[in-house]
């Protein structure tokens, strides 16, 4: 594993990008993303997936190419929550009722251990799960089929079971979507949801599962594309210094890896140059962008410019990312 001091600025900036790509094998463009743009991770979706054997070959080829380029191992991630969000299909084990059916710690452990083992066997090392969003009692929102049942405490407890069992099988867990999207009826894939819920209410409910996960050692968290007006009336959480520096890192003391949700979602209305500046100044470590476009290069160039101006902040972000990759290697070795 390279150390920060051994990495060029291009390599450092590339580690802050986690991207999607087109194809089912190691294409020339994927080689460009890894070898030239030097991305730190990739995420697979249904169009990238044909079979477990094909995924295993693709993952092995990507990791070998990154090593040949002198780069740290890639994060290779997938959304495998069960229910409606499960990119890998049969013959892997499916949990068709999804997270709402995981009503006991035993059920959550079974899901996490089974999913983690099967993902690890085909080459993944990161699952964008568990969902720690809380849906208020009697409320029907966009996350209804994706949330754990019960109180905020129960959501946190069940989420920690999934998180810990995924990682026991060698797959990093990314808890999401901070600071919580269980209250929204709008889809951030299509628009920017705005929540006026007072922060005191968020702290009493929505933040509780994340506090539980952080106390249990969560090392990565994904931000939502929701604007929480009582925290920051200007920016969605994914681009907000008030949410990340103020609440997540400041009030809650989280010092792990923070990543955006997909910057291709229509909730993100600013250009990628602006988004990259907000990511940097908000103390976000990784930009997640899932659909191939020239936005990748724009993000990289702006992050590089910001890193040149503020090398200390860039070094802190890279330190967190490399620490997570060392944890990833340690999990894989156990």
Active site residues: 189, 261
| 3-state class (DSSP) for residue 286 | strand
Sheet bearing 17-19, strands edge to edge: 172-173, 126-127, 75-78, 41-44, 17-19, 287-289
Residue-level length of the chain: 334
CA 174, CA 160: separation in Å to the nearest integer?
11
- Helix then strand then coil, in percent of the chain rounded to 5, is 45, 10, 45
| H-run or E-run covering 63 | helix 52-68
Let me know if 109 is exposed, middle or buried by CB neighbors in 10 A (0-12, 13-18, 19+): middle
Location of structure tokens 């690890």: 120
Residue 186 CA to residue 142 CA, distance in Å, equals: 6
Give the DSSP letter of residue 188. T
């Amino acid at each position: 594993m390279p150390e920060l001091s051994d990495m060029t600025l291009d390599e450092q900036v590339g580690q802050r990008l986690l991207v999607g790509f087109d194809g089912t094998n190691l294409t020339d463009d994927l080689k460009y993303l890894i070898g030239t743009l030097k991305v730190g991770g990739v995420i697979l979706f249904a169009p990238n997936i044909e079979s477990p054997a094909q995924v295993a070959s693709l993952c092995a080829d990507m990791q070998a190419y990154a090593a040949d380029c002198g780069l740290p191992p890639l994060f290779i991630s997938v959304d495998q929550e069960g229910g409606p969000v499960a990119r890998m299909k049969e013959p892997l084990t499916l949990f068709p009722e999804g997270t709402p059916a995981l009503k006991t710690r035993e059920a959550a452990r079974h899901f996490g251990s089974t999913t983690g083992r099967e993902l690890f066997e085909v080459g993944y090392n990161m699952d964008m799960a568990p969902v720690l969003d809380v849906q208020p009692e009697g409320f029907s929102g966009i996350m209804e089929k994706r949330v754990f049942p019960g109180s905020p405490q129960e959501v946190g407890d069940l989420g920690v079971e999934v998180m810990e069992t995924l990682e026991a099988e060698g797959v990093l867990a990314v808890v999401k979507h901070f600071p919580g999207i269980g209250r929204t009826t709008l889809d951030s894939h299509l628009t920017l949801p705005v929540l006026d819920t007072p922060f005191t209410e968020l702290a009493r409910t929505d933040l509780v599962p994340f506090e539980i996960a952080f106390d249990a050692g969560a090392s990565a968290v994904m931000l939502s594309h929701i604007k929480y007006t009582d925290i920051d009336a200007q920016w969605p959480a994914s681009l907000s210094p008030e949410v990340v520096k103020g609440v997540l890192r400041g009030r809650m003391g989280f010092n792990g890896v923070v990543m955006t949700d997909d910057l291709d979602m229509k909730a993100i209305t600013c250009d990628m140059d602006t988004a990259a500046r907000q990511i940097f100044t908000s103390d976000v470590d990784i930009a997640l962008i899932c659909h191939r476009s020239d936005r990748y290069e724009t993000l990289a160039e702006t992050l590089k410019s910001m890193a040149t101006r503020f090398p200390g902040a860039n070094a802190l972000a890279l330190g967190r990312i490399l620490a997570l990759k060392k944890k990833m290697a340690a999990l894989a070795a156990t």
